[in-house]
Amino acid sequence: MRVFGIDPGSERTGFGCVETDGSRHRLLICGAIVSSARVPFPDKLLAIHARLGELLRDHEPDCVAIESIFHAVNARSALKLGHARGVAMLAAVQAGLPVLEYTPAEIKRAVVGYGRAEKPQVQSMIKLILGLDAVPSPHDAADALAVAICHIHSRGVGPVVAPVPRSRAATSWRHYRPAR
């Protein structure tokens, strides 16, 4: 199975394609689509759409996994991110591929085992899971690979990180009481 992951962004859109047999994952390609700050925004969107279309044709994935929008403080940034996500999803749909969305917390939980993991933790796990010599660069590429691996792990194609059972009453270790 081949999964193409996308970490959308208006300045840099990360991408990565992972192939798996269910037990081993192999990196096929990763990188980022970068546009100059001087390029008008509509042209950036066109470049993202065109390049993703080429990559999807070249690598023939079975599906596309994309990071969903998270809560953003800056509305303008959130709108730009939404546009980038839209053209990325359009490229996938035009290629006839199913699109699956995952939240940042789901991605971190599937890759690291903790939904609030920091970027360096996610990058280190990507390096380990894929057996790479170095962390994928730029960080957008590592994030895109994390999205792809999240899909693989959540769909039962590979090893799944089990969620840690939590007591709803305990909000801190100070409040923890063992079950009887």
Catalytic residues: 7, 67, 140
Instruction: Please choose, from the candidates 161, 28, 5, 15, the residue with its C-alpha nearest in 3D space to the C-alpha of residue 97.
Output: 5
- Cα angle 62, 138, 89 (rounded to 5 degrees) comes to 35
- Cα 175 to chain centroid distance, Å, stands at 35
CB crowding 116-128: b at 16 or more within 10 Å, else e = ebeeeebbbbbbe
What does DSSP assign to residue 13?
Answer: E
What distance in Å separates the CA atoms of residue 169 and residue 80, rounded to the nearest whole number? Answer: 39
Contacts of 23 (CB under 8 A, 6+ apart): 158, 159
